[in-house]
A and B are shown apart, each in its own frame.
Chain A
Amino acid sequence: MMKIRCCLNPISRFQSTSSAVSRSRLTNDEIRQHRLRIYNNERQTQMERIRRVEKIEIDVEDPIQSTKLLMNKNLSTPYHCAKHLSSVLVDRSCLALIDDEIVWDMNRPLERDCKLKFLHFLEEKCEEQNRAYWRTCSFIIGYILETAFKSNYNVELCSFPPPQFQYGSFAYDAQLNIGDWKPTRDDLRCLSIQAYKLRDNDLRFERLDLTQSVAEEMFKYDRFKLAQIPYMLRLLSPSDNQTRLSVYRMGDYHVDITRGPLISSTKQIGRFEFSAIHNIDVPSYNETMQRIQALSIPNQLHLHYWTFDYLLERAKKKNNASIPTLTKPKTSDNKTDKIE
Chain B
Amino acid sequence: MNRALQTISTRLFTRPVLPSSLGILPNAGINFIPCAWIRQHKLTDQQMRLRYKKLHWHKFYNDKWVQRRGGGWDEKMTPENQSFMQEVVYETYTNKESPLKDGPWKHGEYTTNPETIRTGVLGLKLGTLPQWDKKGRKFHVTLVQIIDNHVVNYTPPEMINFRTLFTTRPLRRDLHGKVGMLVVGALSSDPRKFTRAYNGLFEQAGIPPKRKLTRFFVTPNSVIKPGTPLYATHFRCGDYVDVQARSIDFGFQGVMRRYGFRGGPSDEYGATKFHRKRGTVGSGRKHKILPGTRMPGLMGNKLVMMKGLKVWRINTKYNVLYLMGPAVPGPNHGYMRIQDSSLYERKQKLTKDNHPPFPTYYPQDGKILDEELFSDDIYHFDQPTLTLDDVQIAPLTTRRTTAKTAQKKK
Q: Could you list which residues of chain A lie within 8 angstroms of chain B, going by C-beta atoms?
A: 122, 301-307, 310
Contact = CB atoms under 8 A, between A and B. Distances in A.
Sorting the interface of chain B by its residue count into under 10, 10 to 19, 20 to 34 or 35 or more gives 10 to 19
B192 A307 contact: yes
A306 B191 contact: yes
B119 interface: no
A305 B196 contact: yes
A122 B192 CA distance: 21
A307 B76 CA distance: 12
Contacts of A305: 196
Task: Report the 3 A-B pairs with minimum CB-CB distance, sorted nearest first.
Answer: A304-B192, A304-B71, A306-B191
Contacts of A301: 75-76
22 contacts: A122-B76, A301-B75, A301-B76, A302-B73, A302-B75, A302-B76, A303-B75, A304-B70, A304-B71, A304-B73, A304-B75, A304-B192, A305-B196, A306-B71, A306-B191, A306-B192, A306-B199, A307-B75, A307-B85, A307-B192, A310-B85, A310-B88
Interface of B: 70-71, 73, 75-76, 85, 88, 191-192, 196, 199
A275 to B, nearest CB: 18
Contacts of A307: 75, 85, 192
A122 to B, nearest CB: 6
A190 B76 CA distance: 29
Contacts of A302: 73, 75-76
Contacts of B76: 122, 301-302
- Chief secondary structure at chain A's binding surface: loop
A114 to B, nearest CB: 31
A145 to B, nearest CB: 28
Contacts of A306: 71, 191-192, 199
Contacts of B71: 304, 306
Interface centre among A303, A306, A307 (most CB of B within 10 A): A306
B188 to A, nearest CB: 14
Nearest to B92: A310
A155 to B, nearest CB: 32
Contacts of A310: 85, 88
Contacts of B192: 304, 306-307
B209 to A, nearest CB: 10
A305 B75 CA distance: 11
B82 to A, nearest CB: 10
Given A302-B75, A304-B71, 19 more contacts: A122-B76, A301-B75, A301-B76, A302-B73, A302-B76, A303-B75, A304-B70, A304-B73, A304-B75, A305-B196, A306-B71, A306-B191, A306-B192, A306-B199, A307-B75, A307-B85, A307-B192, A310-B85, A310-B88
